[in-house]
């Protein structure tokens, strides 16, 4: 739906075009096939004001589950993030270049980065300051020579505050390098000299802190989006009979930078430069974003925190230490009861209703939790309707195991960590 084209039409004619395109999009979904597999249509039933609400539910593999099918800049680890193919599916179909695409629960910034790569203007919000640290550098990436030159300027042997407890993860020399780098970032930020190259180095270092291969700073541990406790890591070391090996921090940062930049050709770099400077990145609760103007957003694609499924603070304690963030002071929504989650999302939907243009869409990704006993789309529909939105369709993206889901014993299409379920909502025209 092209906003400029609609602006040339009269009010009544523009409304007819919008409704026609809405119907066309839903029909496209109904007729969608993947490797010859047709879409299966079912029904999601929810209740609003005591009345049953039936919403069409369409099941297929609408986008690939392959890990390497997206731009290399996305390869930053963050717990419970969705694949870039999800926002791309909606951005390509429901926006035009230059439109503003918003994610109120930005996380690692998947929606915002994918929007920027597609020539849309990214708008992102997250209550966790770590989110901006992970996203902003990838909207304006430095070149590899710039990265290498800056690494040579860092005093790796300088005195820095260290925490001996972290020796369960790191060789003493590696911890000294990490601490020197951490101190460098703190000094640069305090003096106002932290620039785009420094922000890139910090973002890459945050994603090399811990992991389960020689490409990380640490000894073998859980995947990089889940930092275990000190006691748990000590037990892992004993069980595996391992001691932290010596690592070259600068070399590993260069290696990861090469990987992230491998798909960034000159055309993509110019495209990011055009839209990245206009990006709006906000650090605050999703239910209160006064910096974002009313009716200024063309599409919302997001995935909220689920019902106490993911311990974001616990997972990010080490990243918080490195970046100077206390994860326990970041008030991420962790509702334990469906009623609490409903109320929290209702407040978010009220804010989304304010900032979204009339006739535009919200693609709200949720998942089944608690062994499939709770389907969050049945909570999202009444919560969104209470804010004024109209539910259009529920998409269920069926997919095969991911490595992370498999290692945790999550069955296909059963829990939120492995199932994409998207409630597509529309803001009515005035």
Does residue 418 form part of some domain?
no
Average pLDDT, the chain: 85
Q: Which secondary-structure segment (H or E) carries 282?
A: strand 280-282
Q: List the domain range (segments joined by +) for residue 167.
A: 144-260
Nearest to 178 by CA among 258, 244, 243: 244
On whether both 210 and 126 belong to a single domain, the answer is no
In the chain, pLDDT over 90 holds for what percent of residues?
60
For residue 344, being part of any structural domain is answered with yes
Alpha-carbon Rg for the chain in angstroms: 22
Q: Beta strand pairing status for 280-282 and 297-302?
A: unpaired
What is the DSSP secondary structure assignment for residue 104, as one 8-state letter? Answer: S
> Which one is predicted more confidently, 345 or 19?
345
Residue 293 lies in a domain: no
Please name the residues in contact with 132: beta carbons below 8 A apart, sequence gap of 6 or more: 106, 124, 126, 281, 283
From 282, 268, 259, select the one nearest 109 (Cα to Cα). 282
Residue 175 sits in the same domain as residue 241: yes
Same domain, 135 and 189: no
Same domain, 148 and 252: yes
- CA 191 → CA 51, 184, 223, distances in Å? 59, 11, 34
pTM of the model: 0.88
Whether 234 and 136 map to the same domain: the answer is no
Using left for φ > 0, alpha for ψ between -120 and 50, and beta otherwise, residue 213 falls in: beta
What is residue 22's predicted lDDT score, i.e. its pLDDT?
A: 66
**How many other β-carbons are positioned within 10 Å of the β-carbon of residue 141?**
23
Contact yes or no for 395/424 (Cβ under 8 A): yes
What pLDDT, on the 0 to 100 scale, is given for residue 50? 82
For residues 214 and 164, membership in a common domain is answered with yes
The strand pair at 100-103 and 121-125 is best described as: parallel
Residue 423 is assigned to a structural domain of this protein: no
Residue 281 vs residues 102, 110, 182, 229, 400: alpha-carbon distances, Å: 10, 13, 23, 31, 33
157-185 tens-digit pLDDT: 877 777 889 999 999 999 999 999 999 99
Is the pLDDT at 330 greater than 90? The verdict is no
Task: Give the burial class of 6: count Cβ atoms within 10 A of its Cβ; 0-12 exposed, 13-18 middle, 19 or more buried.
Answer: middle
Where do we find the tokens 């709770």? 374
Q: Tell whether 178 and 241 lie within a shared domain.
A: yes
Classify residue 70 by its DSSP letter: S
Backbone angles phi and psi of 265, in degrees to 5: -80, 180
172-186, 227-241, 255-269, 387-401 — which is least confidently predicted?
387-401
Residue 79 to residue 108: CA distance in whole angstroms: 9
- Number of structural domains in the chain: 2
Q: Is residue 324 part of a domain?
A: no
pLDDT per position as a tens digit, 265-317: 999 999 999 998 899 999 999 999 999 999 999 999 999 887 665 666 677 88
Q: Is residue 403 part of a domain?
A: no
Please count the other Cβ atoms lying within 10 Å of the Cβ belonging to residue 94: 21
Rounded CA separation 78/212 (Å): 15
Answer yes or no: do 338 and 248 share one domain: no
Does residue 287 belong to any structural domain of this protein? no
* Phi, psi (rounded to 5 degrees) for 79: -65, 135
Average confidence (pLDDT) over 72-95: 89
User: Is residue 91, in this structure, part of any structural domain at all?
Assistant: yes
Contact criterion met (CB below 8 Å) for 98 and 119 = yes
Burial class (CB in 10 A: 0-12, 13-18, 19+), 46: buried
């Amino acid at each position: 739906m092209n906003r400029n084209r609609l602006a040339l039409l009269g009010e009544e004619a523009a409304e007819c075009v919008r409704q026609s395109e809405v119907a066309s999009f839903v029909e496209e979904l109904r007729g969608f096939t993947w490797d010859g597999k047709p879409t299966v249509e079912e029904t999601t039933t929810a209740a609003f004001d005591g009345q049953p609400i039936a919403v069409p539910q369409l099941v297929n593999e609408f986008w690939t589950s392959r890990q390497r099918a997206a731009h290399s800049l996305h390869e930053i680890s963050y717990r419970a993030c969705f694949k870039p193919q999800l926002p791309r599916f909606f951005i390509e179909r429901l926006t035009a270049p230059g439109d503003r695409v918003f994610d109120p629960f930005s996380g690692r910034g998947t929606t915002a980065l994918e929007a920027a790569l597609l020539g849309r203007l990214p708008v992102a919000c997250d209550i966790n300051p770590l989110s901006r640290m992970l996203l902003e550098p990838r909207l304006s990436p430095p070149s590899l020579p710039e990265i290498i030159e800056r690494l040579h300027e860092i005093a790796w042997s300088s005195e820095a505050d260290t925490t001996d407890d972290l020796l369960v993860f790191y060789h003493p020399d590696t911890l000294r390098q990490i601490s020197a780098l951490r101190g460098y970032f703190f000094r640069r930020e305090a003096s106002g000299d932290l620039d785009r190259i420094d922000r890139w180095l910090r973002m890459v270092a945050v994603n090399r802190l811990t992991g389960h291969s020689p490409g990380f700073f640490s000894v073998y541990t859980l995947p990089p989006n889940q930092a275990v406790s000190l006691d748990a890591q000590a037990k892992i070391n004993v069980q595996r009979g391992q001691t932290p090996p010596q690592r070259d921090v600068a070399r590993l940062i260069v290696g990861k930078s090469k990987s992230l930049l491998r798909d960034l050709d000159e055309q993509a770099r110019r495209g990011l430069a055009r839209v990245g400077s206009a990006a709006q990145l906000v650090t605050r609760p999703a239910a209160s974003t006064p910096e974002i103007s009313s009716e200024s957003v063309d599409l919302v694609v997001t995935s909220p925190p689920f019902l106490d499924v993911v311990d974001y603070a616990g997972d990010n304690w080490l990243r918080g230490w490195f970046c100077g963030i206390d994860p326990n002071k970041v008030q991420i929504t962790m509702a334990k009861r469906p009623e609490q989650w409903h109320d929290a999302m209702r407040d978010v939907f009220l804010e989304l209703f304010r900032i979204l243009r009339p006739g535009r869409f919200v693609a709200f990704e949720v998942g089944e939790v608690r062994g499939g006993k709770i389907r969050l789309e049945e909570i999202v529909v009444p919560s969104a309707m209470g804010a004024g939105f109209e539910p259009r369709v529920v998409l269920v993206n069926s997919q095969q195991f991911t490595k992370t889901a498999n290692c945790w014993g999550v069955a296909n299409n059963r829990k939120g960590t492995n199932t994409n379920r998207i409630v597509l909502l529309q803001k009515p025209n005035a």
